[in-house]
Structure 1
Amino acid sequence: MSETEPLRATDAVQAGEAARRYYLAGESKVEIAAAMGVSRFKVARLLEAARAAGIVRIEVVDRGGVDAELSRRLREAFGLRRCVVVDCPDDAPRLRTHVGSAGADVLLDVLGPDDVLGLPWARTVSALLEALPALPPVPVVQLSGSMVIPGEHSPVDMVRAAAALSGHDASVFYAPFILDDAASAAALRRQPAVAAAMAEAGRVTVAVLSIGAWVPGHSTIHDAVDDAVRADVTRAGAVGEALGVFVDADGRAVHPELVDRMVTIDAEQLRRIPERVALATGAPKASAVHAFLRGGWATALVTDRSLATALARRAGA
C-alpha cells in the first residue's frame, strides 16, 4: 500500500473503517488494531493512506471571530509573544468592544498572581475592563492622569474597577493628563500624593496600552490640544502615541514640548515593564501601530482584521 498509488478496494474499506474509528469514535490505534485483527503499525499506515487518498480531510476552522492565520503572521513578523486579530465589522464602537473583549482574554492569559497590573486611560482599555469576568489577586496601578470626556470613565474609576475584580490594592492619583505648561505639570508631579502613586509604576510587570495615531479622530490627546501643539508634535516626527509616549516612523521615542506638560509615565518607564499588551483599532492607525511594533514597544497586540491586514502588508508578511 503506497501513498502515491490508488488504494485497492479492500485497502480503501480498511482505511475508511480505521479512519472512522480513530477520528470519529476516538478509539486508540491499539483498540482499532484489536477490533480489525491487524497490527497497530498497519493501522497507522491505513490512517496515513486515508488522508493521502482524501478519505479523511482535516480542516482547521477559525471560530470565535478570530483570524488565527493573520494573528500568527503578525506575531512572527514583529517578534510578538502574543497576537490576536479579531474579525468584526469596521465601525468604531463595535471594534472597541470586540478588541476589548479579546484583550481581556489576552490579559488573563498573561497575568499571574505575582504580577502588578498597570492601566492608563483609554476607551479601548475601558472596553477590556468591561469584558473581564475577574482578575487574579494582583495590585492595580494607575499609569496616567485623567482626561475629562463626557460619558467616559476616568483612570481612577478604571483602576478601582480592576482592583475590585482582583480583590487587591489600587494605587490611584487625582491629576489631569495634560496641563497648561511644563512648570505646572512638574509641580503637580512633585505633590506627595501624586509622586507616591506614580512611584508605584516602577512595580508594574504587566501594562495595557492603547495606541493612537497622530491624526484627527484617532488620538484622544491629538483631539484635546490646539493646532499649534499638534504642529509641534508633528515637527518632532511623531506618528503615534500611547500613554503620552510619542514615537516616530522608525519606532524611536521623540520628545515634543507636550510631553513635559503631561502627568504620565515616561518612555523609559514604559520600556522597563516586562509585559506590554497593546490594543489598537482601525486601519487609519496602521502607520502608528507599525511604528510601535518596529520599536519593540509592545510584547502583545490585540487588533482588528482591517488594521492587521495593513500591518501585514507593511511588514511583507
Structure 2
Amino acid sequence: MNGRTEDMYRAATHYYVQGEKMESIARDMGVSRSTVSRLLSEAREQGVVRITIADDLGSRSPLVDGLARAFGVRVHLVPGRATAPLATRMDQVAQRAASLLAEIVADHQIIGVAWGVTIANLSRHLPRRPLVDSVVVQMNGGANPRSSGVPYIGEILQSIGDAFDSEVILFPVPAFFDFVETKRAMWRERSVQYVLALQQWLDVAVFGVGSLSGSIPSHVYAAGYLDDAERERLLADRVVGDICTVLLREDGTYADIAANQRATGLTPAELARVPRRICVASDPLRARAILGALRAGVATDLVIDEQTARTVVNHL
C-alpha cells in the first residue's frame, strides 16, 4: 500500500467509521481540510470506500411485494417523481444497478455482461473496485450485416473490466447468424468454445431488457440487427423483446421462436444456472418485455424504477 493509499484509508476510517469531522482529521494528519476532502473523494473513486443505500424502504413497497411474490426475485426499487424525464429515471436506475453490481462481485469470479443501451449506461456509473483474478465475459454476439459491433460493445465491456481490474473476453460472433448451420459450425471452433465454456461458469450476470417498443429504442432493434421483414415476423409470432438477444413472448416462452435457433446469447434456461443475475429495467413502454423476462425466470435481482414497476404489476 503506497503513501497516498494509506492516507486515503486513514482519512476514510476516521471520517466514516469513527465519525470524526474533517477539521479534526486534518489536525490529526497535519494537513489542510481541503486535503482531507480530496482524500475522501479519491477513496470513493478508487473503491477504498463504497457507499450503499439500503433497500429497506423499497422492501415495504406494495410494488416490491407484488413483484417479489410473483417471480421470486429481489427487487431493488428506485423511487422517483413520475414527472421526471425518462432519461433521468433511466440514469438513476443505471446508477443503482452499478452500485449493486459492485457490491455483489468478488475476487476470482467470472462476470457475464450482455451489451445494450441499459448496460452502456450502467458502465458509466461503476465505481472502481479492483478484484483479483476476475474475468468479464460477453454473453451474446454483437456483429450484424453492417458492423462488427466491436467498438460499441468493446467500450462497454472494457469500462466494466477497468472498474474491476478484470480480464475482458469478447465473443466474436454475430448477434444472429443468417443460417442455423453456420452457427452449428462456428460452435465447433475452439476460439468460440473457449468463450462458451466461460459462459457456463458465470458467477454473476448483468443485462438489460430489449423491447420491440420503447421510448428509447433497444440497440438490437435500432442498429441493423434485424431487417423490416424479420421484425414483422417477430410481431406475428407475438415477440415483445429479448434478453441477451434471445427473443421472448410476454408469457415468457422462447424455445419455439424460429429466430432463436440463430441467436447467440444465453437462453433463459442457461442463465438460470448463474447464481446472481441482475436484470436492469426502466421505461414503462418495455413493461411487456420485462414481464416476459421475469416469467422466463432470468433474474435473481431486478433493478427497476417505480413508474416502470407499477406498469409491470398492472400487466399481471
| Structure 1 segment 1-317 matched on structure 2, within 5 A | 69=61, 70-87=63-80, 91-135=85-129, 137=131, 138-147=134-143, 154-215=152-213, 218-223=217-222, 224=224, 225-315=226-316
- The 1:188/1:91 distance shift into structure 2, 3 A limit, reads farther
Q: What per-residue deviation string (whole Å, max 9, x for no partner) do you get for residues 180-211 of structure 1?
A: 33333333343322221232101112101111
Name which of structure 1's ranges 179-188 and 116-125 shifts more when overlaid on structure 2: 179-188
1:25-71 deviation line (CA, Å, top 9, x unaligned)? xxxxxxxxxxxxxxxxxxxxxxxxxxxxxxxxxxxxx999x866244
Cα deviations across residues 104-129 of structure 1 (Å, max 9, x unaligned)? Answer: 12212322335321001111111111
**Matches of 2:313 and 2:260 in 1, distance apart?**
31
Structure 2: where are the runs of 5+ without partners? 1-52
1:68-103 Cα shifts (integer Å, max 9, x gaps): 624455334432124223425554433332211111
Distance in 1 between residues matched to 2:200 and 2:149, nearest whole Å: 31
- Structure 1 residues 308, 111: CA separation in 2 closer, same or farther (over 3 Å shift)? same
- Superposed CA deviations along residues 239-267 of structure 1, whole A, max 9, x for unmatched, are 22110222222222233232233332233
Aligned pairs, number:
253
Structure 1: segments with no counterpart, 5+ residues: 1-61
How does the TM-score come out when normalised to structure 1?
0.69
Bigger radius of gyration: 1
RMSD: 3.1
CA distance in 2, matches of 1:267, 1:72: 23
* Kept after mapping to 2: 8 A contact 1:135/1:162: no
TM norm structure 2:
0.69
Q: Provide the residue aligned with 2:8 in structure 1.
A: none
Please tell me the residue identity of whatever aligns with 2:186: L
**Residue 140 to residue 282, structure 1, CA distance change in 2 (3 Å):** same
Task: Report if the CA contact (8 A) 1:119-1:209 is conserved.
Answer: yes
Q: CA deviation at 1:277?
A: 0.6
Identity across matched positions, percent:
24
Q: Structure 1 pair 110/72, CA: closer, same or farther in 2 (3 Å)? A: farther
SS at match of 1:134: coil
SS of match in other structure, 1:190: coil
